[in-house]
Structure 1
Amino acid sequence: MKSNYIIICLLILLSLSSCKKFLEPAPRDMLSPVNYYDTEQQMNNAIAGVYDILGRGQLYAYSLQSRLATEADEGFFASTSRTTGPQFYDLSSSDSEVLDFWTALYSGISRANAVLENINKPDMDETRRNAIHGEALFLRAYYHFLLVTNWGDVPLILSTAKSVEGNSVARTPAAQVYEQITKDMIDAEALVPSITEVKIGGRVNKSAIRGILSRVYLYWAGFPLKNTAKYEDARNWAKKVMDDTEAAHDLNPSYSQVFINYASDKYDIKESLFEVEFATTGIYEHGQVGSWIGIRSSNADIGTAYGFIGASKKLYQLYKAGDLRRDRSVAPFYYNADGTKAYWTGTTFYGRSVGKWRREEETARPKLSQNTPINFALLRYSDVLLMFAEAESELNNGPTQACIDAVNKVRRRAWASGINTITITNQGTGYTSAPTVTISGGNGSGAVATAVITTGKVTGINLSPDPLTGVKLGSNYTSPPTISITGGGGGTGATAVATIHQVSDAEISMMDKDAFMDLIIEERSRELCFEAMRKYDLIRWNILGFTLNQMSNDIKSNAPDNYKYAALSSSNFQPKNLVLPIPISEIALNKGLVQTTGW
């Protein structure tokens, strides 16, 4: 720890690069705090340094999506060239990525503490002072939250080091760390502006704090602390977001558009409450969202990408017919070398990439190799609705109508209103080429299909592929459209009928507590997959080991031979893997630290 403590507020000026909309370039030289924090601009630069940690590679640039938080049941590390590391539950206390993660978080805490200790020093606008004060409090708490969820008991650091001596600090019990996290966040909520004043999701705001507080309390209520009294706090803070008439939070009508916005540098503060910002130009940090986790590509026009994470068969099969989230979250295609798309067949479960973040949707130019400007969401409104529903059900020993309504709001947004099936009722005769299929009526539009002929008969009608929805099933149909089959080199007689998806099919009805919890476990994966939360959800529900064992057994039994390696991401799990090891180098520096049992 000593190595972190002596990096006090002086580091604030080193790299201020993660937030592309509101941060200005700042000096990179080293100054004593005695000679700094004298102006409002210097305080702006200082808080920029605290935000900077979020965009580090060890956090949301890539590690938490592809190394440290994806090792659950939604995907696997799709590479045979590496077989050890946190993503395989095969690591030691000397693992460099774990050390980098730990170091980045304590660096962020040191920077936040330096801001807090000097917040009253400059003569500046009081509204701006309060905002910076709140931002620093929240970010210090958020970094502690990431620490306690990954390591359990951790040193709680609330001041900068004043000397290289005397920095032996013991681990603080997790419950005490949670007490400080929630205190800091609640204090911060009163100081920062509303999201409508901030106007972007890249800066701490009241909605972001309220929603993250709900998450913090849910984790506190779950395993291992099991302080179930905190479910009430989780429910209440989520409800503050939902009841905020000024912000009027709501879901974007299109699930795909949420992620297109992140790629095209557009803010949607109704849906996206808090996000980490990246860019590809100037001094700003690059991310690997869409590259390290995304659709693999070797084409420079699309944007080159590693696509380290493969989507799991389990995740793909969680989605039911009509759920448009499936083909956004699990890419229905892969890129050829020339940038064209090749579509997977419906029975191919392995080899599919994470599809939420797509380099082809980036609007910034030029596109850099592997590096992307795609923002990463830390909190979306759909998460708030699902957290509210879970906490409300726990408080009432089963779902209330408010729970059902919140979940249904998420599910309705996800549902198709296009073609469901096309059934051939007469194959006809005499077709020498594929006839034209026309879909009309039904008050909807956008569906496109093609016919398949065999020995002069129409033997299949297939909806055409679409990069966003998987197939061009259209939308807004209120009744089955008419299917017309014409042409085809003289053939006649083929007829077909269609059925449609209806948004009401998405809705759930009242159920008991256990059934509702099972639904929440699945729904959070369907909605929030690959957003760096699944591992932690499974831990707080105390089902991570069980879930990974199921996934490993399924892969070993059912995956094609060339994908058996995918079981490595789940088969090595041991109970000690519920937390990360304290880095051995930190134990050597900080004599107050004691290693976690098992590590």
Structure 2
Amino acid sequence: MKLKYSCLLILCLLVSLSCKKLDTKPQDFLPPEAYYNTEEKLNASLTGVYDALGSTGLYGSRMCYLLGLEADEGYYARSTTPIGPHEYNFTASHANINMYWTTLYTGITRANALLANVDNNPEIKAGIRSQIRGEALFLRGYYYFMLVQSFGGVPLVLKPTLDVDDVDIPRATDKEVYDQILKDMKEAEGLVAKINLLGYSGRVSKSAVRGILARVCLFMAGYPLKDISKYAEAREWAKKVIDDTEAAHDLNPSYSSIFIKYARDEYDIKESIWEVEFWGNNGESYTEAGGVGYLNGPASANTDTGEGFGGVRATASLYQLYKAGDLRRDWSIAGFTYNATGATGAKTAITTVSVATLYNRTSGKYRREYELVLPKSRSVTPINFPLLRYSDVLLMFAEADNEINATPSTEAVDAVNKVRQRAWSTGIKAITVTNGGANYTSAPTVTISVPAAGGVRAMATAVISTSTKKVTSIPLVFDGVTGTQMGSNYTSATITISGGGGTGATATATVHKLTDANVPAADMASQEDFRQFIQDERARELCFETLRKGDLIRWGIFVFTMNKIGDQVTQQVPTAYWAQRYHNVKEKHLLWPIPTSELAVNNALKQNPYW
């Protein structure tokens, strides 16, 4: 017993002595004052804030094909994943919803840490610190913008979390979140660099801030806030982008070129104002590759072209929104299938155009055949993703202006016409056989006259009847970019038919006119007509850029539109596995549920209605 008490006494003395000598300062922790003290470290921290954009939970993967953001434009092209946001059949515990939430709050957490420490070292030039602060503020605002669209009001965390017990944060209201977004972005607008000084679109610029502010204000003007005073602000911010003579934004004269440049990592700061940067093939020391083109581009098994999962297909309703002469259709919706073997980009035209078969066409905007990073990885790509294009700014301006003036103004109509004319054909519209001739034993040669200076010559082939030996039709040759080799810069055209063993065949040609692109008179007869036209135009111009679902919700027509597409699919393709997805959409799907994992750790959170 005496020995027992002696041991206990010694133990107490040892504990007492060790407590007096214990160094409580951690040796494996780098305090903020020791890290954010050089320009290089500030930029490294800012890179971490940007990094969330390209992550798996956002534009690097899930947003491209598995979150249902295509809405009425398209659908996930597989029937083997019956549960998920793309199916409108899921619960608050779904991994993709949790990943989306977590990724955005990771970006916000990194932004908060940078903002709290950006001025730690006053010897770093004030201009550099201000620019970094501005970009971090904007990105924090953008991440909250993505959250409030998807979940409604969310916890507003604006400072680094220093206490592990400080996690029970209630949801702010939608308005409170939007007010903070405006505050962050408006402050950022005065701090970030001009895009013409940056020279590339992967970094936040004044143009990007102004354009996204226009988008934020349009969302505030629509459902659920319905603060119509924000239409004036949306117009003002869009006008700042349009009127900026230093940035001199303009549309790329070639619609397809925009997306080819994304694949080649070539910048076009006139049109592409802000984009998510990807690079590499996972085979280099530096790589930041994503899934753009593999997940949401045309399907492909050709390793030279670049393999493609083909995860998103277009709806027939999207295809039918385009009129003849609109070059965006056959770029945005693949009118071909890639050959499994052969040269890079080898493809076969899809010739069937029945309504049922239109649903089999994949998104065509993001094409791996144009990648320059070799060898091409099987499932990751260096293709950048657009977040804001100048055409979007023009359409936002027109939409806001129409709501303010209650009638289509000349300025608003001109903005829409500019978007449409950029993507309109000036090539051959159709070739009509006026005389089939006689005695043709093989298809004769068709020669189309030379277009005006700077144009491209159209190409066509003749089809003959083996029984009558007459020329029956003259279709234009297939083209993977424009649909057919219709040429350009034609005001008129003559058709010459020669060879083939026969004589006498003649044909005439009609040509597309740039003025055909203009908003039809019936579609600008009233505010409502023009509103509907702009809503359709946003689908034609911006499809598969993750904007459609948000647009339909803010316009207050999401549930109606989705159910309508479901009815159309059921009628047109009765056995379609994707029809039920559209029928599944209900009022509850205007918002996603707060992730179950968040409710478990934050006792102040409350779930969204119906979830």
Q: Does 1:379 align with 2:392?
A: no
Distance in structure 2 (CA, Å) of the matches to 1:167 and 1:560: 50
Q: Which one has a bigger Cα radius of gyration?
A: 2
Pair 148,467 (structure 1): closer, same or farther in 2 beyond 3 Å: same
Q: Pick one of 408, 413, 423 that aligns with 2:417.
A: 408
Q: Deviations over 1:453-493 (max 9, x none)?
A: 102111111100111001000000022x11011000x2111
Contact 1:170 1:592 in 2 (8 A): yes
Q: What are the within-5 Å matches in structure 2 for residues 53-202 of structure 1?
A: 53-122=52-121, 123-202=123-202
* Whole-angstrom CA distance in 2 between matches of 1:412 and 1:304: 33
8 Å Cα contact 1:303-1:369 kept in structure 2? yes
- What's the CA shift string for 1:435-469, capped at 9, x where partnerless? 00000145243210001110211111110011100
Q: Match of 1:13?
A: none
Q: Which amino acid aligns with 1:51?
A: Y
Q: CA deviation at 1:31?
A: 3.4
| Worse-matched range after superposition: 444-453 or 187-196 | 444-453
Mapped to 2, the partners of 1:306 and 1:31 lie a distance apart of 43
The 3-state SS of whatever aligns with 2:377 is: coil
Change (3 A) 1:382 1:229: same
Shift of 1:35: 2.2
| Match among 492, 505, 518 for residue 507 of structure 1 | 518
Equivalent in 518, 538, 544 of residue 524 of structure 1: 538
- Aligned equivalents of 2:209, 2:473: Cα separation in 1: 53
Q: 1:477 matched to which residue of 2?
A: 490
Question: Following the alignment from structure 1 to structure 2, what is the Cα–Cα distance between the partners of residues 56 and 465?
Answer: 37
Shift of 1:166: 2.1
Q: State the match for 1:544 in structure 2.
A: 558
Unaligned runs of 5+ in 1: 1-28
Q: Kindly report which structure 2 residues correspond to 1:427-442, keeping only aligned pairs within 5 A, or say none.
A: 427-442=436-451
Contact 1:231 1:391 in 2 (8 A): yes
Corresponding letter in the other structure for 1:210? R
Name 1:567's counterpart in structure 2: 579
CA distance in 1, matches of 2:31, 2:305: 46
Return the alpha-carbon distance in structure 2 between the equivalents of residues 282 and 410 of structure 1.
41
Counterpart amino acid of 2:580? L
- Indicate which of 322, 335, 344 corresponds to 2:350: 344
Alignment of 1:463-474 (within 5 A): 463-474=476-487
Q: Contact 1:69/1:534 (CA < 8 Å) preserved in 2? A: no
- From 433, 438, 460, the counterpart of 1:449: 460
One-letter amino acid of the counterpart of residue 480, structure 2: P
Amino acid at match of 1:315: L
Is 1:491 aligned with 2:494?
A: no
Query: Offset of 1:284 from its aligned partner?
Result: 2.7
Query: What CA distance in whole angstroms lies between the structure 2 residues aligned with 1:30 and 1:430?
Result: 89
Q: Which residue of 2 aligns with 1:293?
A: 296
Within 1, Cα distance between the matches of 2:44 and 2:165?
A: 28
* Aligned residues of 2:68 and 2:76 also touching (Cα < 8 A): no
Give the counterpart of 2:332 among 329, 336, 340. Answer: 329
Alignment partners' CA distance in 2, 1:283 and 1:114: 25
Displacement of 1:568 in angstroms is 3.4
**TM-score where L is the length of structure 2:** 0.91
Structure 1 residue aligned with 2:595:
583
Provide, for residues 117-139 of structure 1, a one-character-per-residue CA deviation record: whole Å limited to 9, x for no partner: 00101221222111100000000
Aligned AA (1:350): Y
Check the 8 A contact 2:431/2:507 in 1, yes or no.
yes
In the TM superposition, what whole-angstrom CA distance separates every residue of 1:339-364 from its partner, at most 9, and x where no partner exists? 53111123341210100110001111
1:446 alignment partner, SS class: coil
| Rounded Cα–Cα distance in structure 1 between residues aligned with 2:464 and 2:376 | 43
TM-score (norm 1): 0.93
Q: Does the 8 A contact of 1:292 with 1:305 survive in 2?
A: yes
Question: Structure 1 residues 36, 294: CA separation in 2 closer, same or farther (over 3 Å shift)?
Answer: same
What SS does the aligned partner of 2:99 have? Answer: helix
Distance across 1 between alignment mates of 2:525 and 2:257: 32
Deviation at 1:69, TM superposition (A): 4.5
> In 2, Cα distance between the equivalents of 1:30 and 1:389?
53
Q: Per the alignment, in what secondary structure is the counterpart of residue 215 of structure 2?
A: helix
State the Cα deviation string for residues 554-576 of structure 1 (Å, max 9, x = none): 11111264xx1121331211110
> Percent of aligned pairs with the same residue?
52
Q: Which runs of 5+ in 2 are unaligned?
A: 1-27
Query: Structure 2 CA distance, aligned partners of 1:406 and 1:282?
Result: 45
CA contact (8 A) 2:451 2:488 kept: no
TM superposition shift of 1:298? 1.1
Following the alignment from structure 1 to structure 2, what is the Cα–Cα distance between the partners of residues 475 and 282? 44
CA contact (8 A) 2:70 2:547 kept: no
Distance 1:350 1:186 in 2: 43
Which deviates the most, 257-266 or 68-77?
A: 68-77
Please tell me the residue identity of whatever aligns with 2:397. F
Dislocated runs of 4+, deviation >3 Å: 29-32
Q: Is the CA contact 2:175–2:225 (under 8 Å) kept in the aligned structure 1?
A: yes
Where does residue 323 of structure 2 map in the other structure?
A: 320
Task: Tell me the alpha carbon deviations over residues 81-113 of structure 1, each in whole angstroms, 9 at most, x when there is no partner.
Answer: 111100010110000000000000001000000
Tell me which residue corresponds to 2:305: 302
1:396 maps to 405
Match of 1:47 in 2: 46
Shift of 1:399: 1.3
Aligned counterparts of 2:104 and 2:451: Cα–Cα separation in 1 = 55
Please give the secondary structure, in 2, of the residue aligned with 1:449.
coil
Contact 2:33 2:120 in 1 (8 A): no
For the residues of structure 1 that align with 2:182 and 2:300, how far apart are their CA atoms? 42
In the alignment of these two chains, the number of paired residues is: 567
